Copies of this chain bind each other. A is one copy, B any other.
């Protein structure tokens, strides 16, 4: 990242508006008006070739070109028609402008990709960066910068928003005031011709006025860089991913492909990147508030303090729903809190101070709880009553937080009530404590702080990429298949590649004659399985092309003849490579591993239990490759059928370690062969009891089109 250049784009000290207009209603007028009304702290230079005629716009001197401007220009807001944007870029380059904010539309979003690329090429040739085109602009409260056609700066706050929808950015800008969720910057990212969401996150992570990054994403262009940047970020990142409905799911050639909708792969990528995924627009605002104001919750002990049983119960339900289930407070803390409630109150958890709770009790309980080492986070609930003053309750909570001196434990608040409560909550938010109108939302907000602590732990794990010397051998097998005019490998070819990357495949060899089959079977050891190998016969069993549990030479000879005859009568013109002779793996728990080459994130692993689990329940999980063994263990744990691998019905636990290592190796294989493999499956993989490993019984690789 060239920080200085991006500083010039997002926090310019001077702005030129190229396409400035004196005519109200024109974007070239609106941007200037917005810059002035926001009381921009830098210089504003309107640019219009008819500068001689126009002279001034809103009291500012107009220049015919940027090169005529006397001082330096950090950013140029471009509002001229698409066709002349390259020329404007050229001039900006000559003027040594740092960044172009291209509001103009009519580029790749309507098919004009070449024009867009031309602008980027010109910009890069001068060391400039391009935001947009096809954007609303960019806004920054700390610079009083509204370089956009959004009508005003948002409510001031510590989060910054990057939005892929311009209309939504404008609507959110206005909504910051009604929702009381503030932002420092609003950045419209548009076509992402040059500056991407990842670039912007990288820069915002260094921005002193941003404590949290909020994203509205329709589709990323650079999935892997996005993951890398987010993993390295030290500030919380929250994303709302739009477009997750089934309409968009592409047809897929393999089992894995059909299970990997964009929504699942994005979900996996966000988790790996340490990005919190918002469920909807309200949730995006709710989490932005808590993550921009409060520290992460570093342990599991959540304490709920309330003056009403009803909201206490709702919060308890929510705690379970959001994966921070309540435990009873330790006895010493309970005993201490007893002083702030009547006899019929409860110090357990939720701590119910009852409707008698006033300012002192709220302050006392909150302070005790914050200072107790057992407590990792607190949700304070208040039901508006006639005998208390919500603002005073809010001030008591704030005072408790201040007086405790504790800064590393999060607090969220919910006041249920009317305008007095709303005012008290506004006061709390202004004093850095997130407050919400419903108890479950306050719990959800603190659960996000817990999840954030969690995902950052994972995201910072080391990635092991296994070194592998066998890539050339794998490419050779693939090239042979391509030369053969095929876009998929045979089972035996796929297993050869799997074996090169260390996957535990069943021993499988190709026999081209009865004699060879017998000698291979002896080499493997009885019993064996035999299967037809032909790119023209996909459903081997239907063709009578499979024989199992062959126990001696005689059986192998007989099977060879039978399979060959069956295949020939099933499809007389089939191209038959021969018959594989294969080790017969003992029974084990069936799982499926697979991969897709996601258009956004590239090689991505899938894991699931086999049989009905995958076919009926679609009980599978994904990770963008490479997957570490630790991550793979978490994949095994997160499917619904996870207890199967832990051992059910008196069975011994399965060899989860061996399976996880297999996932790790598999993921390294698809990464190493990212340019070659489109989709693949190892299905089934049989997993044995602990210490006895796993075996890949069948394998499939579909090649990328070249």
- Decide if B168 touches A311 in the complex (CB within 8 Å): yes
With A281-B314, A617-B640 known to touch, is A246 a contact of B320 (CB < 8 Å)?
Answer: yes
CA distance A441 to B284 in the complex (A): 13
Which of chain B's residues has its CB closest to A155's CB?
B418
Looking at A118-126, A228-236, A382-390, A554-562, the stretch in contact with chain B turns out to be A382-390
| Residues in B neighbouring A216, C-beta threshold 8 A | 310
Question: Does A419 count as interface, using CB distance less than 8 angstroms?
Answer: yes
CA distance A177 to B247 in the complex (A): 40
With A243-B313, A648-B615 known to touch, is A167 a contact of B110 (CB < 8 Å)?
Answer: no
| Residues in B neighbouring A325, C-beta threshold 8 A | 245-246
Question: Does A420 count as interface, using CB distance less than 8 angstroms?
Answer: yes
Question: Does A71 count as interface, using CB distance less than 8 angstroms?
Answer: no
Segment 279-324 of A: residues with Cβ below 8 Å from B: 280-282, 307-311, 313-314, 316-320
- Decide if A384 touches B644 in the complex (CB within 8 Å): no
CA distance A444 to B317 in the complex (A): 21
Which of chain B's residues has its CB closest to A419's CB?
B178
Looking at A432-440, A543-551, A577-585, the stretch in contact with chain B turns out to be A432-440
Question: Does A421 count as interface, using CB distance less than 8 angstroms?
Answer: yes
- Decide if B280 touches A438 in the complex (CB within 8 Å): yes
CA distance A389 to B176 in the complex (A): 18
Interface residues on A, range: 35 or more
| Residues in B neighbouring A500, C-beta threshold 8 A | none
Question: Does A172 count as interface, using CB distance less than 8 angstroms?
Answer: yes
Option from B174, B314, B384, B612 in Cβ contact (under 8 Å) with A384: B174
- Decide if B245 touches A438 in the complex (CB within 8 Å): no
Question: Does A653 count as interface, using CB distance less than 8 angstroms?
Answer: no
- Decide if B440 touches A281 in the complex (CB within 8 Å): yes
- Decide if A171 touches B244 in the complex (CB within 8 Å): no
How many whole Å from A146's CB to the nearest CB in chain B?
Answer: 12
How many whole Å from A102's CB to the nearest CB in chain B?
Answer: 18
Question: Does A331 count as interface, using CB distance less than 8 angstroms?
Answer: no
Chain A 427-453 against B: per-residue CB contact (8 Å), 1 yes, 0 no? 000000000011111000000000000
Question: Does A151 count as interface, using CB distance less than 8 angstroms?
Answer: yes
With A216-B310, A641-B616 known to touch, is A416 a contact of B281 (CB < 8 Å)?
Answer: yes
CA distance A441 to B319 in the complex (A): 22
Question: Does A165 count as interface, using CB distance less than 8 angstroms?
Answer: yes
- Decide if B438 touches A165 in the complex (CB within 8 Å): no
How many whole Å from A440's CB to the nearest CB in chain B?
Answer: 4
Which of chain B's residues has its CB closest to A154's CB?
B418
| Residues in B neighbouring A319, C-beta threshold 8 A | 245
Which of chain B's residues has its CB closest to A617's CB?
B640
| Residues in B neighbouring A438, C-beta threshold 8 A | 280-282
Question: Does A127 count as interface, using CB distance less than 8 angstroms?
Answer: no
Option from B246, B247, B416 in Cβ contact (under 8 Å) with A172: B416
Option from B164, B344, B617, B648 in Cβ contact (under 8 Å) with A110: B344
Segment 143-190 of A: residues with Cβ below 8 Å from B: 149-151, 163-165, 167-168, 170-179
CA distance A309 to B171 in the complex (A): 12
Question: Does A706 count as interface, using CB distance less than 8 angstroms?
Answer: no
- Decide if A245 touches B317 in the complex (CB within 8 Å): yes
- Decide if A218 touches B313 in the complex (CB within 8 Å): yes
Segment 177-223 of A: residues with Cβ below 8 Å from B: 177-179, 216, 218
| Residues in B neighbouring A385, C-beta threshold 8 A | 167, 170-171
Question: Does A422 count as interface, using CB distance less than 8 angstroms?
Answer: yes
- Decide if B641 touches A421 in the complex (CB within 8 Å): no
Which of chain B's residues has its CB closest to A386's CB?
B151
How many whole Å from A209's CB to the nearest CB in chain B?
Answer: 22
| Residues in B neighbouring A316, C-beta threshold 8 A | 243, 245, 247
CA distance A615 to B647 in the complex (A): 12
How many whole Å from A561's CB to the nearest CB in chain B?
Answer: 27
- Decide if A149 touches B437 in the complex (CB within 8 Å): no
| Residues in B neighbouring A523, C-beta threshold 8 A | none
| Residues in B neighbouring A165, C-beta threshold 8 A | 308-311
Question: Does A691 count as interface, using CB distance less than 8 angstroms?
Answer: no
- Decide if B416 touches A175 in the complex (CB within 8 Å): yes
Question: Does A535 count as interface, using CB distance less than 8 angstroms?
Answer: no
How many whole Å from A262's CB to the nearest CB in chain B?
Answer: 11
With A178-B422, A244-B317, A282-B438 known to touch, is A308 a contact of B612 (CB < 8 Å)?
Answer: no
Question: Does A649 count as interface, using CB distance less than 8 angstroms?
Answer: yes
| Residues in B neighbouring A246, C-beta threshold 8 A | 320, 325
Question: Does A417 count as interface, using CB distance less than 8 angstroms?
Answer: yes
Question: Does A355 count as interface, using CB distance less than 8 angstroms?
Answer: yes
| Residues in B neighbouring A245, C-beta threshold 8 A | 316-317, 319-320, 325-326
Residue from A167, A313, A319, A326 having most chain B Cβ neighbours under 10 A = A167
| Residues in B neighbouring A437, C-beta threshold 8 A | 175, 178-179, 282
How many whole Å from A139's CB to the nearest CB in chain B?
Answer: 14
CA distance A344 to B134 in the complex (A): 14
| Residues in B neighbouring A538, C-beta threshold 8 A | none
How many whole Å from A386's CB to the nearest CB in chain B?
Answer: 5
- Decide if B171 touches A243 in the complex (CB within 8 Å): no
Chain A 223-254 against B: per-residue CB contact (8 Å), 1 yes, 0 no? 00000000000000000101111110000000
How many whole Å from A218's CB to the nearest CB in chain B?
Answer: 7
With A245-B319, A246-B320, A441-B282 known to touch, is A310 a contact of B418 (CB < 8 Å)?
Answer: no
- Decide if B311 touches A615 in the complex (CB within 8 Å): no
Option from B178, B218, B386, B644 in Cβ contact (under 8 Å) with A612: B644
How many whole Å from A621's CB to the nearest CB in chain B?
Answer: 15
Give 12 CB contacts A-B under 8 Å. A30-B386, A110-B344, A151-B386, A167-B310, A171-B385, A175-B384, A178-B421, A240-B314, A245-B316, A282-B441, A616-B648, A617-B640
Q: Which 3 A-B pairs have the closest CB atoms?
A: A174-B418, A165-B310, A167-B308
Known A174-B384, A245-B316, A282-B282; further 19 A-B contacts with Cβ < 8 A: A165-B310, A167-B308, A167-B355, A170-B385, A170-B386, A171-B308, A171-B311, A171-B421, A174-B419, A174-B420, A175-B416, A177-B419, A242-B313, A243-B316, A245-B326, A247-B326, A280-B440, A282-B441, A616-B641
